[in-house]
Structure 1
Amino acid sequence: MTTWYRRMKARRADEGHRAATPLELLFDLCFVVAVASAAAKLHHALSENHIGAGVLGYLLVFFAIWWAWLNFTWFASAYDTDDVLYRLTTLVQIGGVLVLAAGVPRAFDESDYSVITLGYVVMRLAMVAQWLRAAKSDPERRTCARRYALGITLVQIGWVARLFLPENLFLVGFLVMAVAELAVPVWAERAGQTTWHPHHIVERYGLFTLIVLGESILAATGAIGAALDAGHASFALISLAGAGLVIVFSMWWLYFDYPAHDLLDTLKRAITWGYGHYLVFASVAAVGAGLEVAVDYDLHVAHLPTTAAGLATTVPVAVFLLVLWLLQVRPRPGTARWAFPVAAALVLAVTFTPAPIHAVAVVLAALVVLVLAGRRGIKDDEVSST
């Protein structure tokens, strides 16, 4: 039974059977709205050949989505008390997520980030309240918790102030505030590392990866379904759908074939791995937008060149492969790991082929087979050595 209030003691980093809670799952699901809105706007911007503005807007909006999710995830791994006050504070954060999602269209269409900033500040100030609770209940890490609360508060003041900057300073202001956000955990954790749980963190990141993979499938399926409903059924469209599924399935396979909990053995490596997932999540969600662009191009409703239409999918896939290689594959033994950067280069190269989506599917499927063969080879060597 849930109690109204309990001391927010730090949970053990080696706690057994540490798994995601129903509240954390609800938190993740509410982020689907924001991710879907950002990806949809990226799709429309690319199809209309507004590539620069679309990509920039997507990266800026996705940073706010990802960073709010990341901060709650790491905090909950160390201090989830699951009392009524904790649940209510988390629900306030979820409300902020929905406000942020509502502001995504205005950010893309009018470069108006006021609603997004409002939702973001709501989420972050609720996070400040959580850290102040932790500071009160955990004397050993009180300085760390207070640093988090202070740093987050100051940065939120900066985000609000940025809304009043001249338009020509918008991007500079955003970059400055983003760097400040990234610096807060590094500064705070130096005062006493929080007791986040490696297995729990990896599970949480995996769940969010599933969410963005599902968003890519939903986006591509919706585009193809709309085309079929409009009477545009053809072998080319069906084969494009199949290729898109192979791409997403292969990305899933490659990501989850390399568990990372044993890699989070130092604070530096944990921060690098955690921060690097911004590009993992953003690239996976962008693949869905790219597949939608491919459907638009085949239906002759997109207004961008052939090469650009291919790049809408090949670039995020290549980014995914390279970042996954750096974060989870390269630190491990095995010759197959060097196939990832080669596959990324091939994915970019097939942009200039007549059927880039199908070619990407072939490259990724071949990479999965190569990884499995390499793993089989390692197991065979282990057996022979015994």
Structure 2
Amino acid sequence: MTSRRQRWARLWSRVWQPPRAHGEQPRDRVVGPLELFYDLVVVALVAQTAHGLSQQPTWRGLGEFATVFTLIWIAWLSGSLHHELHGREDARGRSTFLLQILVLVPLGASIPHAAGDSGAAFAVSAAALFALLAALWWLAGRRDSPEFHRASWLFDACTAACAVVLLVSAAMPADTRMLAWAALDVAYLAAFAVALCLAPSGSVTLVTTHALIERFGLLIIIVLGETVTGVVTGLAEHPLDTLTLAVGLVAVLVGFGAWWTYFDFAGHRPPRPGRGTTLLWIYAHLPLTAAITVIGAAMVRIVEHAHDAHTPTSTAWMLCAGTAVTLCTTTVIASTLQDWRTRPGFHRPVAAACVSIAVAALALGYAQPAPLLLVVALVALYSIPWLLAVTLLQRPPATAI
């Protein structure tokens, strides 16, 4: 009997291991299928926010989208960081992801009307998600060495406080509730920055591991897929003719332009060591991911209005402002990389081109040309920094950067 208990104890210790302490995660770890599955579930929620924005393309709708999207992105960041720093590929790691996914499902179902009738349901589901994250961080913090306690407990306390505020907001009027969520977004991001600054010197490099950098890139790729989904949805909902198909196909190239801009100039590269660059690298991915989501939300409407003489104002601004933010945030991310200092002759001209093209994209949104002309012009604008980069890379070795 004792021997059997010992065997079961050994088996349990292998499949249900305690959380890793800071610094114990393998540096050569790669992203697994479970993490990819989790990211796909999160992007299903992102798609719901995009759908809501496409149905209400107004300043109010944009504000509601930004508030809800940021909450989802913060939850994704917290869950991803927890697994990267403390998770294992065992039954416990699977269970923590499964619990988050089970909470994400009702959360996603309440997103389309989070600003109205489903606001209370969204608040309760989000409170449950952040309470779960707080519990996971608390369990991990118990095993950390003393030098990590201040940062760990602060982050855990902020996550728990976020859960409490979300739960309380369920009883608020709709407008007040949305303002409370927006304030919560800002407070949480600020608290995360403070917690990172309280971490021991030299430990910040533990945050942006190769696996986590890959997770950021995978999230961008999956969100970019929503641009194609938007085009397909638009084409499926309207009679298919030559002009409509042309607008849809060129619109796909707009999403492709966002892909090559990010991954050619900034994606899948680690930031320079340091708290400031790490924070900037992480936070710049928030508006970048949101901007790509906005572009995806505009795809349905650009196909819908393919035959209009002028692109509707809201659609034109969603596409063009999304493009401008994509270009600028990619430049910001590139500025945090080591290459920014070692290859200034390449990155600085490309960055200047990206910012200039972003201004041109905003001017294009103001002009509101016909949908086909608009998407063709956006593809051409995305091509300029890329062609410049190719030209710079083709310089002779004597003058190479």
Aligned residue pairs: how many? 372
CA contact (8 A) 1:317 1:344 kept: yes
Aligned to 1:266: 274
1:139 aligns with 2:145: yes
> Is 1:222–2:233 an aligned residue pair?
yes
**Contact (CA 8 Å) 2:50, 2:65: kept in 1 or not?**
yes
Counterparts of 1:29 and 1:306 in 2: how far apart (Å)?
Answer: 31
**Residue type of the alignment partner of 1:64:** L
CA distance in 2, matches of 1:263, 1:347: 28
Corresponding position of 1:202: 213
The CA distance in 1 between the partners of 2:390 and 2:117, in whole Å, is 46
Q: Which residue of 2 aligns with 1:68?
A: 75
1:308 to 310, 314, 335: 314
- What does 1:21-36 align with in structure 2 at a 5 Å threshold? 21-36=32-47
Determine the C-alpha separation between the residues in 2 that align with 1:339 and 1:166.
46
Q: Distance in 1 between matches of 2:96 and 2:18?
A: 15
**Amino acid aligned to 1:367:** P
Structure-2 residue corresponding to 1:345: 359
Distance in structure 1 (CA, Å) of the matches to 2:154 and 2:315? 46
Contact 1:198–1:264 (CA under 8 A) maintained in structure 2: no
Pair 1:150 & 2:157 matched: yes
In 2, Cα distance between equivalents of 1:126 and 1:8: 15
2:83–2:93 Cα contact (<8 Å) kept:
no
- Contact 1:43–1:289 under 8 Å retained in 2: yes
| Equivalent of 1:359 in 359, 372, 377 | 377
After superposition, the Cα gap between the structure-2 partners of 1:111 and 1:278, relative to the gap in structure 1 and judged at 3 Å, is farther
The gaps in structure 1 that reach 5 residues or longer are none
The alpha-carbon distance between structure 1 residues 182 and 241, as it changes in their structure 2 partners (threshold 3 A), is same
Deviation for aligned residue 1:299: 5.3
Match of 1:122, as an amino acid?
A: A
Structure-1-length-normalised TM-score:
0.88
Please name the residue that 2:16 is paired with: 5
Alpha-carbon distance in structure 2 between the residues aligned to 1:265 and 1:370: 28
Flag the 1:117–1:314 CA change in 2: closer, same or farther, 3 A.
same
Q: How does 1:48-67 map to 2 (within 5 A)?
A: 51-67=58-74
Q: Residues 184 and 297 of structure 1: is their aligned pair in 2 closer, same or farther, counting only changes over 3 Å?
A: same
Task: Report the residue type matching 1:26 in the other structure.
Answer: F
Counterpart mapping for 1:154-169 below 5 A = 154-167=161-174, 169=176
Q: Distance in 1 between matches of 2:38 and 2:216?
A: 13
Give 1:86 deviation, angstroms: 2.9
Q: Residues 336-359 of structure 1, C-alpha deviation per residue, up to 9 Å, x if partnerless?
A: 221001111111222313421221
Q: SS at the partner of 1:82?
A: coil
With over 3 angstroms needed to count, the CA separation of the structure-2 counterparts of 1:329 and 1:360, relative to structure 1, is: farther
- The answer to whether the 8 A contact 2:272-2:336 is kept is no
Question: How far apart are 1:126 and its partner, in Å?
Answer: 1.6
Q: Which residue of 2 aligns with 1:40?
A: 51
Q: Please tell me the root mean square deviation across aligned C-alpha atoms, in Å.
A: 2.6
- SS of the aligned residue for 2:215 comes to helix
Q: Distance in 2 between matches of 1:196 and 1:306?
A: 43
Distance 2:39 2:28 in 1: 20
Distance 2:88 2:150 in 1: 20
Which one of 323, 346, 355 corresponds to residue 317 of structure 1? 323
Indicate yes or no: 2:369 matched with 1:372: no
> Matched residues in 2 for 1:385 and 1:358: separation?
33
Alpha-carbon separation, structure 1, partners of 2:174 and 2:256: 41
- 5+ residue gaps, structure 2: 1-10
Using the TM superposition, give the Cα deviation of residue 14 of structure 1 relative to its aligned residue in structure 2, in angstroms.
8.6
1:240 paired with 2:247, answer yes
The Cα shift of 1:255 comes to 0.7
1:106 is paired with a residue whose SS is coil
Q: Name the counterpart of 1:278.
A: 286
1:239 and 1:167 map into 2 onto residues whose CA distance is: 41
**Distance verdict in 2 for CA 1:101–1:367, change over 3 Å:** same
Amino acid at match of 2:171: F
Distance 2:53 2:131 in 1: 28
Contact 1:337/1:371 (8 A) holds in 2: no
Greater Cα shift, 193-202 or 277-286: 193-202
Work out the CA distance in 2 between the residues paired with 1:298 and 1:172.
36
How big is the shift at 1:70? 0.8
1:323-370 superposed Cα distances (whole Å, 9 cap, x missing partner): 111222586222222100111111122231342122111111233222
- Going from structure 1 to structure 2, the CA distance change for 1:16 and 1:4 (only over 3 Å counts) comes to closer
Contact 2:287-2:325 at 8 Å conserved across structures = yes
Q: Which amino acid aligns with 1:306?
A: P
Tell me the equivalent position of 2:120: 114
Corresponding residue to 2:191 among 161, 184, 194: 184
Q: CA 1:321 to 1:312, structure 2 compared with 1: closer, same or farther past 3 Å?
A: same
What SS does the corresponding residue of 1:104 show, helix, strand or coil?
Answer: coil
Question: Residues 124 and 8 of structure 1: is their aligned pair in 2 closer, same or farther, counting only changes over 3 Å?
Answer: same
Name the stretch that deviates more: 241-250 or 199-208.
241-250
1:262 partner SS: coil
Give per-residue Cα distances to partners, 1:28-81, cap 9 Å, x unaligned: 0111220111111111212xxxx1232122111111211111111122221122
For structure 1, which segment, 362-371 or 55-64, has the greater mean C-alpha deviation from structure 2 after superposition?
362-371
Q: How far, CA to CA, are the matches of 2:240 and 2:50 in structure 1? A: 25
